Structures are given as structure tokens and as C-alpha cells.
Amino acid sequence: MGTSQSTVFRAYGKSLLLSVVLVCPVQARAALTEADFFSDQPIVLSASRLLQPLKDAPAAVTVIDQEMIRASGFRDLPDLLRLVPGFSVAYTRENTWAVGYHGLADAYSRRFQVLVDGRSIYSPHFGAVYWADLPLAIEDIERIEVVRGPNAATYGANAFLAVINIITRMASQVPGDSVSLQLGERDMRGLTIRHGGGDEALRYRLTASAQQRDRFDRVVTYKTPRDNGAYFEATQTYFVNGRMDWLLPRNSDVMAQFGLSQGDWNSGRQVDDLTRPSKEPREQDSRAQYVQLAYHKVESAGREWRVQAYYSRNRFDADNLTYMPLTAQTVSVDEYLLQTRSNIELQVNEQWRPDLRGVWGIEARHETVKSPQEYDSSKTLGGNLWRVYGNLEWQATDQLLVQGGAMAEHHYFTGADLSPRLALNYTVYPGHVFRASVSQAYRSPTYFEQDGNVTERDINGALLDRSKIPSSTSLDPERLFSREVGYVGQIKSLALNMNARLFYDTLNDYIGSQRIETEACNEPGPTIRCREWLNASSLDLRGWEAELNWRPLSGLDLTAHYTRAKISYRDVVFDVTTGAVIDDDLPFSVPRNIFGLLARYSWGAGWQASVGLYQTDRMMWLSDGDWTEGYTRVDLRLARRWKWRGHEIEAAVAGQNLGDDYQEFRDTNNFSGRFYGSLNFIW
């Protein structure tokens, strides 16, 4: 971290402490000060909803700070997860990203919870995370905390394999104005403008951004005789967001946010066949909105509470020409989807004794989904979810920290469920802590898995084809029982921080799909594409991962991680039609080895160079993905910061994938090398 920026960070230290309270209120220890946020062992917020040093967290946590984000050169949010052990990241198509953790990776990122300032962006329809139309600028991110492992005791259903908690910058941290520009190959364009203002009591910031991308080469290797490999992924996305932080009398404050995004996208592939029309490029219209309001009150040194409410809405609309083999017709399908979420939550943090504190809360949520094509109905589907949770932390001895908690939840599909956790953190020597924990998590079925009824009809409404019917039984949630041994170490004389974990997880009631032959699927005629979702195989997920942060020289920072993981069947369920194991590619969805390295070197006059190295083994992407070969990707970035007439300026050039092309998600998605330049002004 450069001297000038370090000074700025410390100038806003109090604002950062307040942002912790606003985003994830905690009961801080009496000894907690601003200096804790700039220590070698960071403070984390997301593992238990209690503010705690990394060594005291009941789960493994990776922190991605602003300096790492900037040095990586990544401009798309999912790419930042390449900096975290165990994550697989790929762009699919149609402006969709695939993200997996320890395998089970598909196009929907549906087995972990993603939060932005406490607001869930997990989709009730597919269970997807819509990274592309999230109205959030990279420049507005304060930090990202990734809880590696199940965390349903803290965040409930769908905090299944991991939790990604994105914390944005408070208005008081970004006073004045800034402009960020990017221009590069593959039609990369980016413009972000931010303004911050207000006074000591009330601060605000407004951000507007326009982003353009063209993900892949236009022509790639043939996959089939009909697929000519011409991909059209040129997208334009515009968004605006704002935040207000208002300090009130009597130790209280208010935070309000809003965001709007508009995606004008062309997507998909070209098909060459005289009997089939050209499907692509296809225009897609994507819109997202949210509003969020939170009130926080410190009642005493031992008690504080926060109430938060938000509403989010995602709308997707596209017309698609689809060829019906059964009737030899081409029909226009309206792929309309509307999703909403209304949420209100109360969280209370209390400290009863110097060695005992806790957090508890209640939450209510209403979710709706509407899609005539996906559910064969114009009705809006809706359901309610209720939660009660609590976590305790007890400093039993100077060396032993005991933590326990649970989330009780009633879901509109699966009814009541409980997710407990117990963790023991033992300090064997100052700076060296071992952790043992057991927990249970679950993932509720999505609307599409339970009620999806995918049909194609002609302009008169006559049924032409059906590819999915509603599940014939009420699906049970996927359940994960996790056992973990972890280590967090610090050697101050070497400026070295390490953490590692061994994990052994058992997943039961995996939700997969099978082909079926029923009367519903034979209307209007036999089809081999008709499927339904069901609870299928049980799996074992096991392995180990480690990461280190090292500063061997002044100005040189190294962050590295390694993961070795394996998935195996505990028992299997067979497809009643084909006789094959349902989703028999699950064990291949995890790369055997994943490695990542980000090195940053700063020298005089504001210069910084960084190199990123990302390596992964061969793997199978689930849903409609393919086998993709292992690859090694090298990124470079060179930047300089300086002052000019009272303005802070940064100019940078970044090169991504400077080696051979590699495959992303599909074996025709070739990601080739590319360069871009950026220019940032702050005043």
C-alpha cells in the first residue's frame, strides 16, 4: 500500500469502523480500535455476525481488499473470486457467469449465498447469481469477505458451500469526485463517474457507470457440423446507484441505498443449417432495481441493534427463435422473467460479560417469480420465508474460544429446518491457532426445480414442445454435513500470514434431473428432452486448501493459494429411463488442483507492477457446460499514481491471459489474450 493511500485509509479509519456497524453490526470487544483494521491479521465480519480477528472466526475466511482488487486488474466481479482458494470461474454465454467452489459448478452459482451490504442477491427462480446486471461498480467495493465452507448457522438456506459478502464504501470514505475510464481490446469500454458530498452528519455518494464487453473471439473451432462457432456476446450495461449515511443523536444512524441497472445485450451463437433459422444474435433486455434502508442504535456498551429492510426486482426479457423438431416449425419464444424479493430483519448484538457475547435476530422474506415460458402460466408464484438465529462466543480460557449457533428457518417449499454449528479455536502458541468445527447446512429447492414447467407454444397458444414438468414430489432440501480442521498462523518476523483447512463434507439429497416418459411429456408427441427434478445421489467432498500472505521485502506483497479437492459418490440414484446414474458427471466437476498467485511490487514515484498467475486442472462444467482442459493464465498490470494540481491520478495498462488461449465453460468458448488501459481521476 502506497504512503499516500495509507494516509487516506487512516484518515477514514473512523468511517470504516462505522461502516462495519452499518453493514454488519457487531458487539465489539472493548479493546477494539481503529488500529485493528490495519493490523496484519484483519478483522472479519461475516463468519458469525460478530466482529472478530481472523484467528477467532469459526470458519475459514478470505479477505479481498481494495489493493488486491486494483492490482488484479479484474474489471468483472466474478473474476475476483480467482483470488480465493477453491473457486472455479468461467464466463458461459448470454451474459452469464459460472462460479463453483469445490466443484458442483454450473451456470447458476446456486450453492452459495452472495450478499451486498447484507442484501441477498440469490435468485429465487434458478437460484442463480446475476453478476452481470448487479448495479455495483468495482470502485465502490470496500472489501469482499468470502467464508469458505457452509455458513447456514449465520445466513440460513443457500449459505451452503460458501458465503460471499461484498461490503461497499461509505459515503464519508469517498468525498469529492472521481472518474474511471477503461479502453481495451475485444471492444472493452468502461466509464464510471462518482460524486460524494454532504457534511459531518449526513454524507452521500452517487455512482453512474456504462460498461461494454465482447467476451470471445468471433470465430472459434467447430464443435458440431451445424455450430460454426460464431459467438455474439457484445453487451452494454448501464447502472446508477447511491448511498446515504446519516448520523443521528443518541448513538444512532441511518443508511439508505438504491440501485438501477439496464442491460442491452446481444448473445449466443450462430447455427448454420438449411432446415433451421439463424438464432443469433439475440437481443436481451435485463433490468434490476433495489432500495435498502437500515436503522442502527447503540443502546449501551453492551447492547446494540439494527433493523434493515430492502426490496429488489429483476426483470429479463428476450425473444428467441426456436426450431421444433417434432413439428418442423420455427416459433418465437418470449423468455420473460420477473423476480422480486422483500425482506426485513432485526439483529441484536449483546455482550453480557467480558468473556461472553452473542448475536440473535429474526428475519422475514417474501419472494415472487413470474415467467410464462418457464412455468406455463401467467400467474405470479410467491412464498414466505421466516428465520430465527443466534450465535454465542465464549472465551472459556486464555487459549480456548468456544463458539456455537444455529439458524431455525421455515421455507415455503421445505417447511422447518435447523442449521447448527459448533467451533473450537485453540491457541497453541501466540500467533498460531487451530480450529475444529462441525456444522450442517441445507439448500432449499428453487422455484424452477420444484415447479418449473418449460413449454413452447405457437402464436395461437397450441403446445408444441415440453422440456420440463413440475417435480412429481415435494423436493427435500440438499443437506451438507461439514467437518473441518483449520489453522491460522502468523510469523511477524517474516511478515507472513498463513491459513489452511482440511475439510470433509457429506452432501445428501442432491437435487438432480432425469429424463421421464409420462403422459404430460408425450403431449403433443414423444420427446427425449422432457425432464423432472428429484432428490438423487449422496456425495462426499473432501480435500485441503491453504493460502498465505507474505511481505518478504518492503513494497513487495505476495498472496498465494492452493486447493486439492475430490468428489466421490456415497450412493447413487439411477435414471428410470436411461438406466444411467443421474448426473453422473458430478465427480468430474471439481478440478483436482487449483493454484493462484498475485504478486505486487511498489517502488518510488507511485509506480506499481503486479502479476497474477491462475492455474486449474481439467474439469467438467455442469448444466449445459462441457469438459474444459486445464490451463495456466498469466495477467500483468503496470500502474503509476501521482498528484497533479490537487488531483490524484492513476494510469495503468493491464494484459490478461498473456499465454495460450484457454476454454471457459464450453469447449468452444476460447478466452484469448487481451490488453486494456485505464485512467482514474480523483479530486
438/435 Cα distance (integer angstroms) = 10
Class of the CATH domain delimited by 3-682: mainly beta
Bridge-partner residues for 304, per DSSP? 298, 349
Mean pLDDT of 160-169: 95
pLDDT tens-digit map of 169-205 = 999 999 999 999 999 998 899 999 999 999 999 999 9
pLDDT tens-digit map of 614-662 = 999 999 999 888 999 999 999 999 999 999 888 899 999 999 999 999 9
The enclosing H or E element of 3 equals helix 3-11
Residue 81, φ and ψ in degrees, nearest 5: -75, -10
Q: Is the dihedral of CA 154, 159, 164, 169 positive or negative?
A: negative
For residue 391, which of 19, 31, 26 has the smallest C-alpha distance? Answer: 26
Q: Is the pLDDT of residue 674 over 90?
A: yes
Q: Is the pLDDT of residue 504 over 80?
A: yes
pLDDT band at 33 (very low <50, low <70, confident <90, very high): very low
414/447 Cα distance (integer angstroms) = 12
What does the DSSP assignment read for 206-233? EEEEEEEEE-S-SB---SBTTEEEEE--
Q: Which residue has the higher pLDDT, 342 or 2?
A: 342
Is 244 in contact with 256 (CB distance < 8 Å)? Answer: yes
Per-residue pLDDT at 519: 66
Per-residue pLDDT at 324: 61
For residue 467, which of 511, 533, 537 has the smallest C-alpha distance? Answer: 533
Q: Is the pLDDT of residue 16 over 50?
A: no
pLDDT tens-digit map of 570-606 = 998 888 777 888 888 999 999 999 999 999 999 989 9
Among 91-105, 115-129, 374-388, the minimum mean pLDDT is found in 91-105
Q: Is the pLDDT of residue 92 over 90?
A: no
What does the DSSP assignment read for 557-573? EEEEEEEEEEEEEEE--
Per-residue pLDDT at 1: 41
Write down the pTM of the prediction.
0.91
pLDDT tens-digit map of 418-472 = 999 999 999 999 999 999 999 999 999 999 999 999 887 776 777 777 888 898 8
90/669 Cα distance (integer angstroms) = 10
Per-residue pLDDT at 520: 61
Per-residue pLDDT at 462: 78
Percent of the chain residues past pLDDT 90, beyond the cut: 68
617/589 Cα distance (integer angstroms) = 11
Joined together, the cell numbers standing for residue 468 give 420440463
Is 61 in contact with 199 (CB distance < 8 Å)? Answer: no
Q: Which residue has the higher pLDDT, 568 or 324?
A: 568
pLDDT band at 331 (very low <50, low <70, confident <90, very high): low
674/671 Cα distance (integer angstroms) = 9
Average pLDDT, the chain: 87
What does the DSSP assignment read for 31-100? T--GGGGGSSS-EE-TTTSS-EEGGG-SSEEEEEEHHHHHHH---SGGGGGGGSTTEEEEE-STT-EEEE
Q: How many Cβ atoms are within 10 Å of 352's Cβ, its own excluded?
A: 12
Residue 139: strand, helix, or coil: helix
Q: Which residue has the cell 454488519?
A: 24
Helices (H), 161-316: none
